[in-house]
């Protein structure tokens, strides 16, 4: 049992940064993210022996985080914070003020997408999850995911262009 526990936590250590970023992205709240992540790590350990493909461990954990968060949302009065309120806590000293502004604009654009499109962008682009893994996670096929990701990216691009136009108008006045 302790050998299994050690292997599990060694694997968690390798991907913890990706897991933390993903859970913060979907929860938009650092405290809730900590709760969801700790619950997901416990759930992951409890079913770790059932993993058939160890190379998919990261995606296995992202799936558990996703399900744990949706379970949390159903059971609580979840307050969906604006992305703007967490930019500093996510990126702290990593970004320049200009880059933080770009990130804030991206978050505003993501907020304008519907939840399923936003999740696809987060998984495919920000978490760099392969389409096949997203398809497995969402119970569909990879061609369907490729199409949906393409459409979500197209919508995001249109939203970003609109936000850029609004920003330019505001700068002139």
pLDDT of residue 104: 73
Structure tokens at 10: 């060694």
Average pLDDT over residues 129-158: 91
Mean of pLDDT over the chain: 83
65 and 110 part of one domain = no
Write out pLDDT tens, residues 55-92. Answer: 789 888 998 998 999 888 888 865 555 555 555 555 55
Average pLDDT over residues 12-36: 89
What's the CATH number where 34 sits? 1.10.1740
Residue 94 three-state SS: coil
Please check the confidence at residue 109 and state whether its pLDDT lies above 70.
yes
105 and 159 part of one domain = yes
Residue 89 counted as domain residue? no
Range in 7-16, 21-30, 78-87 the model is least confident about: 78-87
Residue labelled with tokens 């933080």: 100
69 and 98 part of one domain = no
| Total structural domains within the chain | 2
118: left (phi over 0), alpha (psi -120 to 50) or beta: alpha
CA distances 118 to 26, 60, 73, 113, 133, Å, are 9, 20, 17, 6, 17
User: Which of 82, 109, 126 corresponds to the end of one domain?
Assistant: 82
pLDDT of residue 170: 65
The C-alpha atoms of residue 147 and residue 153 are separated, in whole angstroms, by 10
How far is CA 122 from its chain centroid?
Answer: 5
């Amino acid at each position: 049992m302790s050998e299994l526990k050690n292997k599990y936590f060694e694997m968690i250590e390798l991907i913890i940064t990706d897991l933390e970023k993903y859970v913060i992205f979907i929860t938009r709240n650092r405290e809730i993210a900590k709760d969801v992540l700790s619950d997901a790590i416990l759930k992951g350990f409890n079913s770790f022996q059932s993993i058939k493909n160890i190379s998919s461990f990261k995606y296995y954990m992202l799936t558990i985080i996703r399900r744990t968060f949706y379970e949390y949302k159903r059971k609580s009065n979840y307050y969906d914070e604006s992305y703007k309120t967490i930019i500093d806590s996510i990126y702290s000293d990593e970004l320049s003020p200009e880059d933080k502004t770009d990130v804030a604009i991206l978050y505003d654009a993501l907020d304008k997408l519907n939840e399923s499109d936003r999740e696809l962008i987060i998984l495919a682009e920000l978490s760099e999850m392969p389409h096949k893994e997203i398809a497995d996670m969402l119970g569909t096929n990879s061609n369907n995911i490729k199409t949906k990701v393409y459409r979500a990216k197209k919508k995001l691009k249109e939203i970003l262009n609109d936000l850029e136009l609004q920003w330019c108008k505001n700068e002139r006045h």
